[in-house]
A and B are shown apart, each in its own frame.
Chain A
Amino acid sequence: MERFCDGDARAFDALFARYAAPIRGYLLRATGDPATAEDLLQGTFLSLVRARGRFLRGHFFRPWLYAIATNAVRDHLRRRRPEVLTELGELPTDAAEPTPPSDAGLKRAVRDALAQLPANQREVILLHRFEGLSMAEVAEAVGASEAAVKVRAHRGYERLRQLLQGVWEEQA
C-alpha cells in the first residue's frame, strides 16, 4: 500500500488482483444487483486511487478498503428509490447471483432475510460472516467502536435466526 501511495502502478495491480473479486462479492451481497455491484466496485477502486492520501500509514489496508466499499453501499442505498415489493410482498427476484447454486432456495431465503435487517446490522454481518473480517476490522470498516459492532452483530444474528427459523425446520 505504501508503494501504491507513492504512485506505483504495479503495487496497485497487486492490490487489485488480491481484493477486486472479494470486494465485488461483498458489493453483490450488499446490493443484490450485479450491475450496481459493478458500478460500486469501479467507484471503490477509483476512490482508493484518488483518496489514497487519506490512508494512514502503518494501518491495515483490508479494513480501509472495506470501509470505502461500505461507504459506497451506504451512499447507493441513501440515494436509490425505496425497493418496490412484488404483488406477493416479496423482494424483486431479478437480483439473481451469477452462479446458480445447488441450494438456491436456502440462499434466496438467507438473502431475503439479510435484506430485512436494518442496514447497520446487515453490513456488520456481511463483513464478519461472509467476508471473514475480525470484529476489530469490522469496527474500522464501518467507523464504529468494537463494542457497538458486537452489539449490532448480536442483534443481527438474533433477528436472522428468527427470520430463518421456518427454513431450518423445512431443511431438517
Chain B
Amino acid sequence: MSDPSLERIRLKAHEALAQEPEMRPWWKDALVLCSLNLAVAAGCTLALGRRGLVLNEAAPAVLIAVAAPVVLLLIAGAVAAVMPGRRGSLKLLIGLAVLAAAAVLFGGSGVTDARPLVQQGLPCMRAELLMAILPTLGAILVLSRFAFDPTRMFVGGLAAGAAGLFALHLHCPIGTVSHLALFHVLPWVLAAGLSVLIRARVRSKTWAP
C-alpha cells in the first residue's frame, strides 16, 4: 500500500486482529446480561423473602400475570439490548415495558398501609434503586463495547431494573396504585433513564452498531 498513513492503520488493525484471533459472538454478551439479571432477581427475591417469599396479597393468578411480563422483559430486554440490527425489536421491548408497568400498576392487591405515602414508599424506592445497581452497571459495561445508542441503553436499563421490580412485586405487601406508581414503577424508569445518561459519558470501546 503506497499511502503511509493507510499502511500504518492497516498494521494497527493487524495487531488488533492478532490479539483477538477469535471473534466474540454477540449472543455471549446477551447470555452474560441475562444471567446477571436472573441471578440478581433470584438473589434479591431470596434476600428480601426471609420472612416469607411472597408477601403480596394479590390472587396467585394475578401475581403470575404481573410477574410474567416483568420476567419476559428481564430476559428479552437483555437480548434485544445487545442484538445487532433489528431495531424493531427495541420498539417491541419498550412496548413490553409499558405493558409490564401497566400490569404492576393495575395488578396490585389494593392493600393499604396506615403510614403516610412517602414514609411507606421510601424503603421500596431505596430497595429498588439498590437492586438496580449491579445489573445496570453490567449493562453499561457490556453496551460500552459498542457505539452509544440511547434506545439500546434504555432497553438494557429497563431489563436490568426489572430484576428489582420483580423482587419487590413478590415482597411488597402494599398494593395501592399510588404506592406502586411512585415507589415501584417510577424508580425503575428513573434508573433506566439514569443509565442512559451515565452511558453517554462512558467512552465507547468500538463504534460497531
CB distance from A89 to the nearest CB of B (A): 30
Q: Does B208 lie within 8 Å of A47, measured CB to CB?
A: yes
A9 within 8 A of B: yes
A140 vs B87: C-alpha distance when bound (angstroms): 10
- Interface members, chain A 26-70 (any B CB < 8 Å): 38, 41-56, 59, 64, 67-69
| Chain A residues whose C-beta falls within 8 Å of the C-beta of B52 in the assembled complex | none
Instruction: Using known A-B contacts A49-B20, A51-B146, A53-B26, determine if residue A38 contacts B5 with beta carbons closer than 8 Å.
Output: yes
Known: A9-B17, A143-B87. Is A47-B206 also a contact (CB below 8 A)? yes
Q: Pick from A12, A17, A64, A75: contact of B13, CB below 8 A.
A: A12
Contact of B21 among A7, A45, A47, A75 (CB under 8 A): A7
B10 touches A47 (CB 8 A): no
Asked if B209 contacts A43 (CB within 8 A), the reply is no
| Contact A54:B10 (CB < 8 A) given known A7-B21, A49-B20, A59-B85 | no
Q: A21-B6, A43-B207, A67-B209 are in contact. Are A52 and B85 (CB under 8 A)?
A: no
Which chain A residues lie closer than 8 Å to B26 at the CB level?
53-54
CB of B14 within 8 A of CB of A46, answer: no
CB contact list, B187-209 vs A, under 8 A: 200, 204-209
State the interface size on chain A (CB cutoff 8 A). 41
User: Distance in Å from the Cβ of B2 to the closest Cβ of chain A?
Assistant: 11
Whether B23 sits at the interface, judged by CB under 8 Å, is yes
Q: What residues on A are CB-neighbors of B114 within 8 Å?
A: none
A97, chain B: closest CB distance, angstroms: 16
Q: Which of A24, A38, A46 contacts B16 (CB 8 A)?
A: A46
> Which A residues touch B17, using CB under 8 A?
7, 9, 12, 49
Q: Residues of B contacting A78 with CB < 8 Å?
A: 148, 200
Residue pair B85, A56 in contact (C-beta under 8 Å): yes
Tell me the complex Cα distance, A72–B206, Å. Answer: 9
Q: Which residues of A contact B (CB under 8 A)?
A: 5-7, 9, 12-13, 16-17, 20-21, 24, 38, 41-56, 59, 64, 67-69, 71-72, 74-75, 78, 140, 143-144
Chain B interface residues (CB < 8 Å from chain A): 1, 5-6, 9-10, 12-14, 16-18, 20-26, 28, 84-85, 87, 145-149, 200, 204-209
